[in-house]
Chains A and B, each alone.
Chain A
Amino acid sequence: MNFLEAKKVIFEYVRRGKDGEVDGFKRAIDEVDLDISQGDFIAILGPNGSGKSTLAKHFNSLLHPTEGTIYVDGCDTTDADKIWDIRKSVGMVFQNPENQMIGTIVEEDVAFAPENIGIDPEEIKQRVRESLVMVEMQDHRKSSPSKLSGGQKQRVAIAGVLAMHPKCIVLDEPTAMLDPEGRREVIRAVRALNDVENITIILITHNMEEAVYADRIYVMKDGRIAMSGTPREIFSRVEELEECRLTVPQVTKLAYELRKGGLDIPSGILTREELCRAICR
């Protein structure tokens, strides 16, 4: 069995009227099937309101499917006995770094999760040290989070999740509030975790350039998986992507236009170097 499997998952938010009576349902996830193996780097793309965050909250049992099932590491996410095991193995990083800091000192914040799990003090210290090294924040362990840049804060948030020793990290638009430098820092850290520690990464993003590094991309639209495939496959379908109100990376777009104009270059070009090589050939 794969690490994460979703089978025909449907989720409906209950819409309520003024007096709290049920007014209707809003289907945010519609028959989603997923199959993710341990060590994969997955990117989920989609326009606003397509249900990405709602889906992400299913992965660590914050929300339960209305219909269908999700298995994480062989456990059903609705199994109340397994909920803490699931949350331990699937860490979550959210968009706003300020709203997920619990400690007033970096170190304390990173220690929060292992403290909740009930780990011994000595082991906690070790995990905090290791987690901060993994995201290259060890020099800031005594700083106050409010003094850090956005990219640094987000890396501390990642360290806070790493201290649980998770098998998978879900990042919900972790770079949306960051400047380009902060984005690069965070993506570099995430890729290193995937490469070195073999941690499964599920990256939800609006930024196509970040999705290029993924092993596999899922594109969501109106709660459904509209497209899925490798970055090369996905980015060669420029028109379909634009239908989903997503813009492909600039290089890909340029290559696509050139190809349409009659130039003989392969589809699904992802980097500038590739395009150069294709043109010079």
Chain B
Amino acid sequence: MIRDITLGQYYPTDSVLHRLDPRVKLCGTLIYVISLFLFQTFTGYIVATVFLVSMIALSHVPVKFIFRGLKAILFILVFTAVLNTFLTPGRELVSFWKITITIEGVRLAAFMILRLVYLIIGSSLMTLTTTPSNLTDGLEKSLGWLKVFRVPVHEIAMMMSIALTFIPVLLEETDRIIKAQQARGADFESGNIIRRVKSLVPILVPLFISAFRRANDLAIAMESRCYHGGDGRTKMRPLAYGFRDIMAYVVLVLYLAVVIVVGIMF
């Protein structure tokens, strides 16, 4: 299951989406996520679906790879669906024993699931097509104005980029620790919830120790390579908008217009 988390992973290939300026993608993702919560009707979701499907097609990332990210949140999806189906009051659809399923409940559950699924796919599409350093460059640049309010934008961006770099390393490490503890007879699968939580301790303790050691090593390696914060730092590829990025902004504005029109008319 740990390997299934695709959020925050980069899929190296060449596509229009990969070449877009990260600021466009950040802005686009933000608009898309907001639009998901504005839609209340099925027509709206058709628009969102069309947009998402065309983005996936443009990204050249294998569909299988994108959907793998959903496995990790399967539990949350099922949980939301069940809660919404059974607990929403309204007109009765079917009823057996003490449980009533309402039309509103089914509708709400479907919406919530679509929303969550699209949210995850939309945002993982951004990280899949943007290298972590590009992503944080984009964040650093678009949030640069916050520096006026003494927000340490560069430091936050650097932290994020390191976190993203180390997600795969730490996931692999977790897998290794789990296997090592299982080889010693640790049991993570049986028992009640308290026992299961307790059985996590022998995973978390070594994981934290190793994470701290890695952090220390990395800090020394960064200092050795002359890292001293964001002052006077340059970039190998400074961000600059091109024609492609302007076109992408036009597409985003069009999408926003459609969203608003659909929201008012239907």
Q: What is the interface of chain A, defined by CB distance below 8 A to chain B? A: 57, 60, 62, 84, 87-88, 91-92, 94, 96, 98-105, 107-108, 111-121, 124-125, 128, 142-144, 146, 160-161, 164
Q: 5 more A-B contacts (CB under 8 A) besides A116-B227, A142-B12?
A: A84-B228, A102-B162, A104-B165, A115-B234, A164-B226
Cβ of A117: which chain B residues have Cβ within 8 Å of it?
226
Q: Which of B168, B224, B236 contacts A62 (CB 8 A)?
A: B224
Q: Are B235 and A94 in contact (CB-based, < 8 A)? A: no
Query: How far, in Å, is A43 (CB) from chain B's closest CB?
Result: 20
Contact A116 B236 (CB under 8 A): no
Given contact pairs A115-B236, A142-B12, A99 touches B226 in the complex (Cβ within 8 A): no
CA distance A101 to B225 in the complex (A): 11
Q: Which residue of A lies closest to B229 (CB)?
A: A116
A-B contact pairs, 21 of them (CB 8 A): A57-B220, A60-B224, A62-B220, A84-B226, A91-B224, A91-B225, A98-B169, A99-B213, A99-B218, A101-B165, A104-B132, A104-B133, A104-B165, A114-B234, A118-B234, A120-B234, A121-B236, A124-B234, A146-B169, A160-B225, A161-B225
Residue B38, interface by CB 8 Å: no
Structural contact, B165 and A116, CB atoms closer than 8 A: no
| Contact call B218/A121, Cβ cutoff below 8 A | no
**Cβ–Cβ contact A144 & B234, under 8 A:** no
Minimum CB distance partner of A160 in chain B: B225
Q: Which residues of A contact B165 (CB under 8 A)?
A: 101-104
Q: Which residues from chain B contact A94 at a C-beta distance below 8 Å? A: 217, 220-221
How many pairs of A and B residues are in contact by the CB < 8 Å rule? Answer: 97
Q: How many residues of B contact A (CB 8 A)?
A: 30
Task: Name the residue of chain B whose CB is nearest to the CB of A124.
Answer: B236
- Name A92's closest neighbour in chain B (CB-CB): B224
Q: Does B179 have its Cβ within 8 Å of any Cβ on chain A?
A: no
- Asked if B238 CB lies within 8 Å of chain A CBs, one says yes
| Residues of B147-165 whose CB lies within 8 A of A | 162, 164-165
CB pair B225–A112 under 8 Å, yes or no, is yes
Contact A96 B217 (CB under 8 A): yes
Which chain A positions have C-beta within 8 A of B238?
121
Whether the Cβ atoms of A99 and B227 lie closer than 8 Å is no
| Complex alpha-carbon distance, A124 and B236, angstroms | 6
Q: For residue B224, which residues in chain A have a CB less than 8 angstroms away from its CB? A: 60, 62, 87, 91-92, 161
Give B231 Cβ to nearest chain A Cβ, in Å: 9
**Which residue of the partner chain A has the closest CB to B210?**
A99
List residues of chain A with CB within 8 A of the CB of B196. Answer: none
B237 in contact with A121 (CB, 8 Å): yes
Residues of B within 8 A of A (CB): 10, 12, 131-133, 162, 164-165, 168-169, 213-214, 217-218, 220-228, 232-238
Contacts of B131 in A (CB 8 A): 104-105, 108
Closest 8 pairs between A and B when the two form their complex, measured CB to CB: A100-B221, A99-B217, A113-B225, A92-B224, A111-B236, A116-B226, A124-B236, A118-B232
**Which residues of A are found within 8 Å of B164, using beta-carbon distances?**
104
On whether the beta carbons of A102 and B222 are closer than 8 Å, the reply is yes
Interfacial chain A residues near B233, Cβ < 8 Å = 115-116, 118
How many Å lie between the Cα of A121 and that of B236 in the bound state?
A: 5
Residues of chain B contacted by A118 (CB below 8 angstroms): 232-234
Bound CA–CA A143/B221 (angstroms): 21
Contact: B223 with A87, CB < 8 Å? yes
CB neighbours (8 Å) of A160 from chain B are 225
Given contacts A121-B236, A125-B236, whether A113 and B10 have CB atoms under 8 Å apart is: no
Query: Cβ of A111: which chain B residues have Cβ within 8 Å of it?
Result: 236
Q: Would B221 and A113 count as touching, CB distance under 8 A?
A: no
With both beta carbons as reference points, the residue of chain B lying nearest to A116 in the complex is identified as B226
Q: Which residues of A contact B169 (CB under 8 A)?
A: 98, 146
Interchain CA distance A57-B213 in the complex, whole Å: 17
Q: A119 CA to B165 CA in the complex, in Å?
A: 24
| A84→B133 CA distance, assembly (Å) | 24
Which residue from chain A places its CB closest to the CB of B237 in the assembled complex? Answer: A121
Which chain A residue shows the least CB distance to B223? A62
| Residues on A with beta carbons closer than 8 Å to the beta carbon of B234 | 114-115, 118-121, 124
Question: How many whole Å from B85's CB to the nearest CB in chain A?
Answer: 41
A97 vs B225: C-alpha distance when bound (angstroms): 14
| Shortest CB distance B68–A (Å) | 17
Q: Cα distance A88–B228 when bound, in Å?
A: 12
**B residues near A88, Cβ cutoff 8 Å:** 226
Beta-carbon nearest neighbor of A120 in chain B: B234
CA distance A107 to B235 in the complex (A): 12
| Whole-angstrom CA separation of A119 from B233 in the bound complex | 8
Please, how many angstroms separate the alpha-carbon atoms of A115 and B233 in the complex? 6
How far is it, in angstroms, between the C-alpha of A94 and the C-alpha of B224 when the chains are bound? 10
